[in-house]
């Protein structure tokens, strides 16, 4: 009989919590970046603002996807 691999749910939950913490940190950093783009003293046209927002959203999505692609360490 083959020995079944034990699933360590504590490790899995801890990794998910760490990912959640990283995602929250990224969200805060993205908010700060958005604030930097919007509070610029120079006169900026709406197309430029919308382009910057679209770029920021794309970067945000890429960052979140890269977090999900990280291979878990340990037994999980």
Averaged over 61-68, what is the pLDDT? 82
Which of 55, 19, 11 has its CA nearest to residue 36? 55
Place of tokens 């878990």: 72
Boundaries of every domain in the chain: 9-36+45-69
**Is the pLDDT at 1 greater than 60, yes or no?**
no
The DSSP call for residue 43 is -
Q: Given CA atoms 50, 51, 56, 58 in this order, what sign does their dihedral have?
A: positive
Averaged over 36-49, what is the pLDDT? 72
Q: What per-residue confidence (pLDDT) applies to 22?
A: 92
The DSSP call for residue 71 is P
Which pLDDT band, with edges at 50, 70 and 90, does 5 fall under?
Answer: low
Transcribe 19-30 into DSSP letters.
HHHHHHHHHHHH
């Amino acid at each position: 009989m083959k020995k079944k691999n034990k699933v360590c749910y504590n490790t899995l939950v801890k990794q998910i919590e760490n990912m959640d913490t990283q995602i929250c940190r990224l969200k805060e950093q993205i908010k700060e970046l958005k604030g930097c783009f919007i509070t610029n003293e120079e006169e900026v046209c709406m197309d430029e603002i919308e382009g910057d927002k679209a770029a920021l959203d794309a970067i945000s999505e890429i960052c979140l996807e890269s977090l999900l692609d990280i291979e878990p360490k340990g037994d999980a």
